[in-house]
Amino acid sequence: MDKTDPNSDVVKPIRDDLMSGAAELALRAITIFQAVLNGPAAASAPALKEKITETARALIDAQPAMAPIFHLSNTVLFAINKSTTVEAIKQDCQAALDKFEKTLCESASAIADEVFDLIPAGELIFAYSFSSTVVSALLNARAKGRYFRVACTEARPSMEGRKLASRLASGGIEVIHTFDNAMGLILPNCSTAFMGCDCVGRPGVVNKVGSWVLAVACRELGIPLYALSGTEKIVNDDRLFEFEKHERPPEEVWDFTTKGVRVLNHQFDLVPFNLLSGLVTERGILKEPDIEQYVSKLEVHEALKLQPATF
């Protein structure tokens, strides 16, 4: 998809959002689908279907690592597959959006309850990057009377770790904050670590870049690391590696470079299951062998199937 296509402007806020976690982005994508349902394309059923399909593809293309955006889009396209009138499309699409939003919220709440038991009272715990699932789990534990402190780092270059720090502090949790490379100084004082995730597949968990280094450091120090994720983030292997496509402009890292210096700005990395203590989902704590049963049930709408690479 041509990113300069004016029709794709509708997803620009999603493409430019480097501060939100996967679940938050999916909630924002829901409002974009709603806008399409009420936009000019609703003049005829074929035009509306076409526009919804195009929006689905553009949203996925805007944030290829964010599994909930893929699943939301996939769910929407299946929901309107057999709808033949404008009214039916609107109704079926809205029902799918509502159901997806409900699932996201219920997952976050179930995960929060499970995380409560993983937070040792009185300890310092580590949390990486920004994840609304992690935030809601920690605030929920605090609200239920568990006392603990949280250490977190910036998550360069977009610094969404600062958003995490601020959000937790406003919720009454004491936060210790430092830069990413100082992880090794603060982790030895932490008893458990948590991260969100953007996408889960058989090879592991995709999340903000730096998660892999965190995971290796946690294993070296004997600190359990849990990834929190609704099962709506589980995808097929080919979709999982879409995160590798997501390169951001180098200027976001360094806006004044010398000739001969190439600046890389990749946003995600993959943490294999052997570096994780578990994936905390709304259906319990999953391990590597549990993922297969979810992957095998996945159905991908024809319009969203990835083309095999051609050489």
* Residues forming the site for a copy of itself (CB under 8 A): 153-157, 162, 165-166, 168-170, 172-186, 208-210, 212-213, 216-217, 220, 253-254, 257-266, 269
Cβ atoms of residues 151 and 9 within 8 Å: no
Indicate the residue among 71 and 246 with the shorter CB distance to a copy of itself.
Answer: 246
- Closest approach, Cβ 117 to a copy of itself, in A, equals 25
Taking the complex as a whole, how short is the minimal distance between the CB of residue 173 and a copy of itself, in angstroms? 7
* Beta carbons of 136 and 24 less than 8 angstroms apart: no
Smallest gap, in angstroms, from Cβ of residue 308 to a copy of itself?
Answer: 25
Shortest Å, Cβ 221 to a copy of itself: 9
Please, which residue, 136 or 267, has the CB nearer to a copy of itself? 267
Q: Cβ closer to a copy of itself: 32 or 150?
A: 150
Question: In terms of CB distance, is 93 or 218 closer to a copy of itself?
Answer: 218
Nearer to a copy of itself, 272 or 284 (CB): 272
Maximum distance among all Cα pairs of the chain, rounded to whole angstroms = 61
CB of 139 to a copy of itself, least distance (A): 13
What is the closest distance, in whole angstroms, from the C-beta atom of residue 164 to a copy of itself in the complex?
Answer: 10
| 237-242 CB contacts, 8 Å cutoff, 24+ apart | 237/201, 237/202, 237/203, 237/295, 238/306, 239/67, 239/70, 239/199, 239/201, 239/300, 239/306, 240/199, 240/200, 240/201, 240/202, 240/203, 240/206, 240/270, 242/64, 242/65, 242/199, 242/306
| Residue number, 78 or 212, with CB nearest to a copy of itself | 212
CB of 47 or CB of 169, closer to a copy of itself: 169
284-286/268-271 β-pairing: unpaired
The CB-of-189 to a copy of itself minimum distance in angstroms stands at 11
Rounded to 5 degrees, φ, ψ at 4 are -90, -5
The alpha-carbon radius of gyration of the chain (Å, integer) is 20
Encoded tokens for 70:
């893929």
Cβ atoms of 125 and 131 closer than 8 Å: no
253 beta partners: none
